Structure 1
Amino acid sequence: MTQDPTYRGTVYPWHCDHVGHMNVMWYVGKFDEATWTLFLRLGLTPTYLREQQRGMAAVQQNISYRRELLAGDVVEVHSRVLEVREKVLRFAHEMRNAETGEVAASCELTAVHVDRQSRRSCAFPDTVRAAAQARLGQVAGAQDAAR
């Protein structure tokens, strides 16, 4: 996982469902925010995506829920690159309760780099592919290493 979190935030009461824990839609939302931070670190910046008419399309997402998160809990997401191919990026997120360190959920995603004009997949720039390759197998974040 990355050294610095790709997302840090709070569970608000309106994130909770009828059983009192964070609803699945908010896990997905927080993982999505972490995704955009990871993309930024790889060079898939908002400016690049706008100026080059590129985008990223999720083609698969698998989430495992492990522990409840309640209103007031602070969460952190750490992310890592699992695989990079010419047009495809596979990566994982791990969401932890920042106070207890317990893993609340994990998520694995596969995304495809797309040309927004042709609506077809296209190759990543060499700089993005190199940045992703450099993050393959990266050691868990500092918080994880301390445990």
Structure 2
Amino acid sequence: MEREATYRGTVYPWQCDHVGHMNIMWYVGKFDEANWNLFARLGLTPSYLRSSGRGMAAVQQNISYKRELLAGDIVEIRSHLLDVREKSIRFRHDMINAETGEIAAFCEITGVHMDRSKRKSAPFEDGIREVALTYLTEPAEA
């Protein structure tokens, strides 16, 4: 999974705040877009989530900001699956300035697989869990 980006985009001027760098709300949004690409690789596709009545919910999210991103910067996110449990996964997104190769921010998230009708956590299907286990990795230090 490390070799393929889970998000690619750019920083637009309207995403910058009064200090001139990308506002924190946009970091969260770009990390969220990477979530869905990561989930799809594990088999948690939109069609699976709709047809199975399942969903994913973030229960913890921690972001560390390392370098500024400015209007026009090209952004890439690479995701790393850190832990797979019966009903939850823990993963990290590294947001990289694609021009410089520097990590601009990283985010660690714990997500829970849910039964949407019961509003409770639910075990991953065996096939999804098996695929997820093949993606377990340790990211490079930031």
Please classify the TM superposition score into its range, dividing by the shorter chain length: over 0.9
Unaligned runs of 5+ in 2: none
Residues 16-95 of structure 1 mapped to structure 2, 5 A cutoff: 16-95=16-95
**Number of positions where the alignment pairs a residue of Structure 1 with one of Structure 2:** 140
Partner Cα separation in structure 2 for residue 117 and residue 17 of structure 1: 39
Residues 6-17 of structure 1 mapped to structure 2, 5 A cutoff: 6-17=6-17
**1:73-107, CA deviations, whole angstroms, 9 ceiling, x for partnerless residues?**
00000001000000010000000000000100000
**1:112-146, CA deviations, whole angstroms, 9 ceiling, x for partnerless residues?**
00000111100001111111100112677xxxxxx
Partner Cα separation in structure 2 for residue 14 and residue 131 of structure 1: 38
Instruction: Determine the structure 2 residue equivalent to 1:118.
Output: 118
Partner Cα separation in structure 2 for residue 58 and residue 135 of structure 1: 19
**1:40-95, CA deviations, whole angstroms, 9 ceiling, x for partnerless residues?**
00000000000001000100000000000000000000001000000010000000
Greater CA deviation, 56-65 or 125-134? 125-134
Instruction: Determine the structure 2 residue equivalent to 1:145.
Output: none
Q: TM-score, normalised by structure 1?
A: 0.93
Moved beyond 6 Å, runs of 4+: none
Greater CA deviation, 128-137 or 19-28? 128-137
Tell me if the contact between 1:2 and 1:138 (Cα under 8 Å) persists in the aligned partners.
Answer: no
CA offset at residue 15 of structure 1?
0.4
Partner Cα separation in structure 2 for residue 139 and residue 31 of structure 1: 16
CA offset at residue 7 of structure 1?
0.1
Greater CA deviation, 70-79 or 128-137? 128-137
RMSD: 1.2
Tell me if the contact between 1:61 and 1:108 (Cα under 8 Å) persists in the aligned partners.
Answer: yes
Letter in 1 for 2:136: L
Tell me if the contact between 2:82 and 2:138 (Cα under 8 Å) persists in the aligned partners.
Answer: no
